[in-house]
Chain A
Amino acid sequence: MKVALFTTCLVDGLFPDVGKATIAVLERLGCAVEFPLAQTCCGQMHVNTGYPREAVPLVRNYVETFAGYDAVVVPSGSCAGAIRHQHADLAEQAGDARLAEAARERATRTFELSEFLVDVLGVTDVGAYFPHRVTYHPTCHSLRLLRVGDRPLQLLQAVRGLELVALPDAESCCGFGGTFAVKNADVSTAMLADKMRNVLTTQAGVCAAGDASCLMHIGGGLTRLHAGTRTMHLAEILASTAASTE
């Protein structure tokens, strides 16, 4: 199986450890992963801010970059959601039926990390060791666009040493929402405040999620409060082993 990593623009530029962790997990499970350097961004920021036309070249770039792979793994529910739910539609709006068709084809081969591990590889125990108390925030797009369900929880439950604590009101949005966090900063902060309160009541040392963007938001808030709870991407926990954990 020819597998590619679409690392997402945010991970590539700001959170490379998430990309490295994704590679580590996939390679540990025997996948030879490629990282096509032509990849850039899924275009979601443009679309969701009201600039769909600007996103069309990014759709084309995604479609061209990932032609010929059996599977594309994305460590983000949101970006995978955009590829699956927006790309073909954007191409169609632009009147490019061929691009729309290709985008639909790519979408069927694009998987969010937990989907790829559980559904494609059929693995829930990835051989990780992470002796910490962890709570998991199911991000909105992984939950409601991709319907990943409890796949991330299955993966976390199989991690040795990990104590998983349920997050109260888990399915409530953290308030990130892309440019929403800036355009409606006060509402976003109010939502974040409730999310942080729920995270802190779990007394977990780590808040995990499958999207670096939501974690940037929750983590940015927790750091500001010096709350003593850190955020980690699901991939980073799954990549941890007895050898890597101090």
Chain B
Amino acid sequence: MNPLSSGRPFPDAARDALDNAQLRHNLGAATATIRTKRAAVVGEVPDWQQLRAAGAAIKDDVLANLDSYLLQLEEQVTGRGGSVHWARDAAEANAIVTSLVQRTESTEVVKVKSMATQEIGLNEALEASGITAIETDLAELIVQLGNDKPSHILVPAIHRNRAEIREIFLREMPAVDPSLTDEPRALAEAARRHLRAKFLAAQVAISGANFAVAETGTLAVVESEGNGRMCLTLPRTLITVMGIEKLVPTWRDLEVFLQLLPRSSTGERMNPYTSMWTGATEGQEFHLVLLDNGRTATLGDPRGRSALRCIRCSACLNVCPVYERTGGHAYGSTYPGPIGAVLSPQLTGVAANKTLPFASSLCGACYDVCPVAIDIPTMLVHLRGRVVDTKGRTPERAAMRAAAWTMRSPARWTRALRALRVVRLLRGRRALPPPASAWTRSRELPVPPKQTFRDWWTSR
């Protein structure tokens, strides 16, 4: 299955989530908490809007000059002892990483939380070659042990509460203390003990990257638990899989993003663990896999490309009224929420993700909080047009054309408005054919008036 497209229409998948009261409760509480924290720490930055504009401008420059920045990055990384690999798609990236791990003869790798490796289904690919990938981020570990899928970009186990986490640990974690409680401290301690053994034994680590500095060849990973630092420093071999849009031109540009990212994502003023490395350390190996997987295709759409500015902060998920009620699984993609609804269809091609651009009421809350000012609502509307263009003749198109034809002419429109009176006959009826039934399931139809406004005006 493509990690970017489950093939299941969003409205269907959403229904399952909506009916899950525990999930709704977990999500409502968690998103409200992060929303409040974010709003407080963003509100205290006097030049937030300027920072946001700077973030957008730096990323737009990267996207406009991606070819030269990527070559510059490759030169810098190679010059400092690292190896750079180019992957056109998920299959190529998985093959590269698998062969790199196989060369070390390791059968177990530790992983830093990474969206790029989720996007390509790396863990599953490694497993098929007999290599076990161990997620070391606490929430990713919960998801992995629970045979589950992440439901949030930043907080992958947001759909789980601590009682559920305790059950997963008791069931799946070898050598766990059977008297484990659901106190956060106890749960974290159990995960810590479990992971410590893995860190010390691992010969290979796999990470993503939050940023790569073209000027110096420096990679950066931003995390909160210290697990990333363990993975990035202890094992002999480090393999980093990074989307080609993760670049910033210069070291100085990090200043902007290291302010924007923690405040937007976890609602923290400063990020707890920011690890940066340049090339390979003596005695160790470093491989950088540059991943396209639909990004150059996204770059080709002038009205869609700014989705590639995204720094994966998840602020848009936390404020989205749709995400808050459905959670991430309903989107059927590694990237859920508003950014997922614009990014996933572009990475896969809209034909493989036809319902996601419609999974929004266009309320605009996502655009307001986006730290790199991606106009998600406008992009959703644009992608809806692209989806419609893949569809040929449909009853909806016929209806839209008929409506436009009527509205184009004031005379036709005046008659059509008058004809609405017929609907008065349906007053109080709920058993209507689709699409009216989708409305009347939960809402009364408005009763059309005896006289339209324009007829009242004319008779006045």
Distance in angstroms from B426 CB to nearest chain A CB is 13
| Pairwise interchain contact B381-A141, C-beta atoms closer than 8 A | no
| Pairwise interchain contact B362-A14, C-beta atoms closer than 8 A | no
| Pairwise interchain contact A220-B360, C-beta atoms closer than 8 A | no
Indicate whether A182 sits within 8 Å of B362 (C-beta atoms), given known contacts A9-B407, A14-B420, A47-B381. no
Indicate whether A176 sits within 8 Å of B361 (C-beta atoms), given known contacts A189-B441, A190-B325. yes
Q: In the complex, which range does the number of interface residues on chain A fall in?
A: 35 or more
Indicate whether A38 sits within 8 Å of B18 (C-beta atoms), given known contacts A12-B452, A13-B452, A20-B453. no
Cα–Cα distance between A109 and B393 once the two chains are bound (Å): 38
Indicate whether A15 sits within 8 Å of B446 (C-beta atoms), given known contacts A175-B321, A182-B439, A187-B11. yes
Judged by a CB distance under 8 angstroms, whether A245 is at the interface is: no
| Pairwise interchain contact B410-A221, C-beta atoms closer than 8 A | no
| Pairwise interchain contact B364-A192, C-beta atoms closer than 8 A | no
Indicate whether A188 sits within 8 Å of B361 (C-beta atoms), given known contacts A173-B321, A224-B443. yes
Distance in angstroms from A40 CB to nearest chain B CB is 4
| Pairwise interchain contact A46-B454, C-beta atoms closer than 8 A | no
| Partner among B321, B407, B445, B452 whose Cβ is within 8 Å of the Cβ of A40 | B407
| Pairwise interchain contact A221-B443, C-beta atoms closer than 8 A | yes
Identify the stretch in B65-73, B128-136, B187-195, B398-406 within 8 Å (CB) of chain A at 4 or more residues. Answer: B398-406
Indicate whether A52 sits within 8 Å of B361 (C-beta atoms), given known contacts A40-B410, A224-B443. no
Judged by a CB distance under 8 angstroms, whether B385 is at the interface is: yes
Indicate whether A20 sits within 8 Å of B456 (C-beta atoms), given known contacts A50-B384, A141-B364, A191-B325. yes
**Per-residue interface assignment for chain A, residues 28 to 47, with 1 indicating a CB less than 8 Å from any chain B CB and 0 otherwise:** 00000001011111010111
| Partner among A35, A47, A184 whose Cβ is within 8 Å of the Cβ of B11 | A184
Judged by a CB distance under 8 angstroms, whether A16 is at the interface is: yes
| Partner among A16, A40, A46, A85 whose Cβ is within 8 Å of the Cβ of B453 | A16
Q: Which of B345-375 contact A (CB under 8 A)?
A: 357-365, 367-368
Cα–Cα distance between A37 and B415 once the two chains are bound (Å): 12
Distance in angstroms from A25 CB to nearest chain B CB is 15
Cα–Cα distance between A144 and B410 once the two chains are bound (Å): 31
| Pairwise interchain contact A19-B453, C-beta atoms closer than 8 A | yes
CB-CB under 8 A from A229, the residues of chain B are none
**Per-residue interface assignment for chain B, residues 6 to 25, with 1 indicating a CB less than 8 Å from any chain A CB and 0 otherwise:** 00001100110010000010
| Partner among B18, B325, B364, B384 whose Cβ is within 8 Å of the Cβ of A49 | B384
CB-CB under 8 A from A17, the residues of chain B are 449
| Pairwise interchain contact B361-A175, C-beta atoms closer than 8 A | yes
CB-CB under 8 A from A7, the residues of chain B are 453-454
| Partner among B361, B385, B409, B413 whose Cβ is within 8 Å of the Cβ of A191 | B361
> Apart from A172-B321, A177-B360, what are 9 other A-B pairs with CB-CB below 8 Å?
A12-B452, A13-B417, A46-B400, A48-B381, A50-B385, A50-B386, A178-B361, A185-B439, A191-B322
6 tightest CB-CB pairs across the interface, nearest first? A177-B361, A220-B443, A50-B384, A50-B388, A144-B364, A173-B363
Which B residues lie at the A interface, using CB under 8 A?
Answer: 10-11, 14-15, 18, 24, 321-322, 325-326, 357-365, 367-368, 378, 381, 384-388, 396-397, 400-401, 403-404, 407-410, 413-414, 416-417, 420, 435, 438-439, 441-446, 448-449, 451-454, 456-458
